[in-house]
Amino acid sequence: MTFQQIQKLLSLTQYAPEEEQNEIANLLTEAAIQHPETEGALRFTQKDYLKMPRKFRQLFKTQGLTARVYRRQTSSKLKHYNYEIRLRSDGYNIYACADNLTEAKQKFIQKLNEYEKLGEEQTAVPSTFSKFAEYFFDKFYSRKVSESTLRVAKNQFKNHLSLYFKDTTLKRITPNVCQELIDRLEAEGKGKTAEDIHSLLNIIFKAAVKHGLITNNPIDMVVHNKHEREHGKALTKDEEKLLLAKTAGTPYQLMFAIALYTGLRPNEYKTARIEGNFIVANNSKRKNGKVELKKIPITPMLKPYLDGTTELHFTRLEQIRNQFNRILPEHRLYDLRTTFYTRCMECGVADAAIKKFVGHTLGGLADTYADLSDEFLFREGQKLLY
């Protein structure tokens, strides 16, 4: 049977008596399985459509959604076959199988109804950019990165991507559209933002490819200038004294002293607490929701500022940053961490201890086998005196 004959019979099926429609549709499907031009498209009768949920009825009849049917030989001697029907497009993944085509089709329609009852929000993968990105963040990305990294990604998405792509279908997003966004950010002098957005788009589109929503990643062709990141700049010792002197008599002095002499990341300040001879805080760089504590000894530089203090209280990070910028406008708050790392090196603190203090991995087999004692960490911390 030729492709033209299949198409002609398909157009006439709706006028056939009801009892013959299913037989004709099955014959057409059988022919389609063997015909490369139709790629094994499943044929439905009017009666089949009436059994479907309204949404799928419209998708199949008017919007061109197609289910694929495959005939598999299960016994070469008996020439026995079974039929697999699959719908894997537009975020759907529905499957049915039976020993004959009629039964497989009935099971498939039943699966469509079950799918409808579950609700699209629980089962379907969104096919528009903004909805898919939100779905990806909540279902997958949140499991892979730390809370702070996720928050940054969501803010970048909200500020730059959701406004630009809106509800555009993923399939309609071209490399040129992505290139225009990156070019615009770079033209505005936002080189770091452009690089971050490029990376975020790459992650989102890769996930869309793996979900079968798109075939190729459009960001692969996009050109962007690599942003040269500015590394932290340590405070001079005079600047350290100035910061602590300017905040004397206020709660900010203790906050800055802890930041200076523990090397905590700004987003870790709120988790800091005193435990014996150590400041303990959450390591914000641990992924997959894993909570890891890091312990920084109370050094000779920090101890005078903790006299009589049993609990630590930090104000909102914005307030801390504003106070810092007012006193040292040429620096960033993160420079306090760089300062701590620098002073530890200058004072001869062991490299392994410094890494444990700042929350870095030791590297190689050391992460598996090394378990540095509190005594060692405290002893190394006492070297921080200048």
> Which pTM does this prediction carry?
0.50
Token pair for residue 257?
Answer: 């002293």
Q: Nearest CA to 302 among 339, 255, 334?
A: 255
Per residue in 292-318, pLDDT tens? 788 999 999 999 999 989 999 999 999
Helix segments in 119-174, DSSP class H: 120-123, 129-136, 142-144, 147-156, 162-165
Q: Which residue has the tokens 């990806």?
A: 136
Pairwise CA distance, residues 331 & 182, whole Å: 28
Residue 189, classified by CB atoms within 10 Å of its CB into exposed (0-12), middle (13-18) or buried (19+), is exposed
Q: Count the alpha carbons within 13 Å of 131 in the hemisphere toward its beta carbon.
A: 13
What is the model's pLDDT at position 92? 78
Q: How far is CA 89 from the centre of its chain?
A: 22
Q: What is the pLDDT along the chain (386 residues), one digit of tens a residue?
A: 454 555 555 555 555 565 566 666 666 566 555 544 334 678 788 888 889 988 888 888 877 788 888 877 766 666 677 888 888 777 677 888 888 888 888 999 998 888 877 665 455 688 899 999 999 999 999 888 877 788 889 999 999 999 999 889 999 999 999 999 999 999 998 888 999 999 999 999 999 999 888 999 999 999 887 755 556 799 999 999 999 999 999 999 999 999 999 999 998 999 999 999 999 998 887 655 566 788 999 999 999 999 989 999 999 999 999 999 999 999 999 999 999 999 999 999 999 999 999 887 766 544 544 578 999 999 999 999 99
Decide: 287 and 146 in contact? Cβ < 8 Å. Answer: yes
Spatial neighbors of 333 by CB under 8 A, at least 6 apart, are 259, 266, 320, 321, 324, 325
Contact present, 137 and 173 (Cβ < 8 Å) = no
pLDDT reported for residue 149: 85
The alpha carbon torsion through 83, 89, 91, 94 (nearest 10 deg) reads -10
CA angle 26, 31, 32 (to 5 degrees): 95
What is the set of domains in the chain, with CATH numbers? Answer: 3-123 (no CATH), 129-221 (1.10.150.130), 237-381 (1.10.443.10)
C-alpha 66/C-alpha 296 separation (Å) is 61
pLDDT score, position 35:
46
Distance, CA of 383 to chain centre:
41
Is 261 within 8 Å of 302 (Cβ atoms)?
A: yes
Q: Are strands 68-75 and 80-87 parallel, antiparallel or unpaired?
A: antiparallel
